[in-house]
Amino acid sequence: MKFLPLGDTALTVEFAESIDRDTNAQVLMLDARITHAELDGVIEAVPTFRSLTVHYDPSITSAMDLQAEIEELSSTKAAVQTRERTWRIPVCYEGSCAPDLAEVAERLDLTINEVIEYHSSVRYFVYMIGFLPGLPYLGELPAEIDLPRRQHPRVRVPPGSVAIAAGLTTIYPYESPGGWHLLGRTPIPLFSLDLEPPSLLAPGDTVQFEPVSHSHHDRLSGMDIREVSEQFAERVDP
């Protein structure tokens, strides 16, 4: 592990230079150990692909003391309960919900149905949440539909857009700029302050997309996030 100070209120723990499941598993395990230990002064731990940033109150603890505590936690082999869930997310791959689908199929010399089948046949791993509140970085995308980001990003990507780029897939929780290829759209909200925690998905969860019709998508749109998550993204034990 490499410890990097992030100002005087945060400490970043780096595990490796590469991005892979083993490295991310170490990140998530340390995150769970810190949460379980309830270290004095720790405000929040934020996991990424290959590192964990721990935010702390400098009036209660210091980077030096925190580093020592983290090193001790990382050396223990005691089991820690982690929150891991599998979600089935409905996605419409039709019409206006899928503005880049035909172009992606043409570039990859596939049919539209083949692209949909490749994208929806995989159980994706949630590596991290970032860029926007609740936005998941999901891997690994099948090699058959892997493309780099768009040469010209969009100024506006509709909320709920399901997109691919650079070996990953994601869901845009809100309207925002974006340079990924839009294959579909889901009606499921991913972030709400009415939830605890507010992000529907979490690092360590898995996601499988389920194709639905445009009319089915429209019927689900506008539902309360708690009702949607209970009916269409319920927990399934791995």
Give me the residues paired with residue 139 across strands. Answer: 125
pLDDT above 70: residue 28: yes
The first and second tokens of residue 208, run together, are 């499988």
* pLDDT band, very low/low/confident/very high, at 194 (cuts 50, 70, 90): confident
How many Å separate Cα 122 from the centre of its chain? Answer: 15
SS3 156: strand
Tell whether pTM > 0.85.
yes
Q: Which pLDDT band holds residue 32 (cuts at 50, 70, 90)?
A: very high
Burial of 91 (0-12, 13-18, 19+ CB in 10 A): buried
Please state which of the ranges 93-102, 160-169, 215-224 shows the lowest mean pLDDT: 215-224
Structure tokens given for 125: 């791993």
Q: Which two tokens stand for residue 163?
A: 């997109």
Q: Which of 80-89, 146-155, 198-207 has the highest mean pLDDT?
A: 146-155
Whether residue 185 is predicted with pLDDT greater than 80 in this model: the reply is yes
Choose among 67, 88, 93: nearest CA to 163. 93
Ramachandran region, residue 204 (left: φ > 0; alpha: ψ -120 to 50; beta: rest): left
Query: Based on the number of CB atoms within 10 Å of its own CB, is 8 exposed (0-12), middle (13-18) or buried (19 or more)?
Result: exposed
Looking at per-residue pLDDT, the higher value among 61 and 86 belongs to 61
DSSP SS3 for 123: strand
**How many beta carbons lie within 10 A of that of residue 228, not counting itself?**
19
CB contact at 8 A, 156 and 172: no
- Band (pLDDT 50/70/90 cuts) for residue 81 is low
What is the set of domains in the chain, with CATH numbers? 2-75 (3.30.1360.40), 86-232 (2.40.100.10)
Examine the pLDDT at 83 and tell me if it is beyond 70. Answer: no
Sorting pLDDT into bands at 50, 70 and 90, what band is 39? very high
How high is the pLDDT of residue 228?
A: 64
Look at residue 222 and tell me whether its pLDDT is greater than 50.
yes
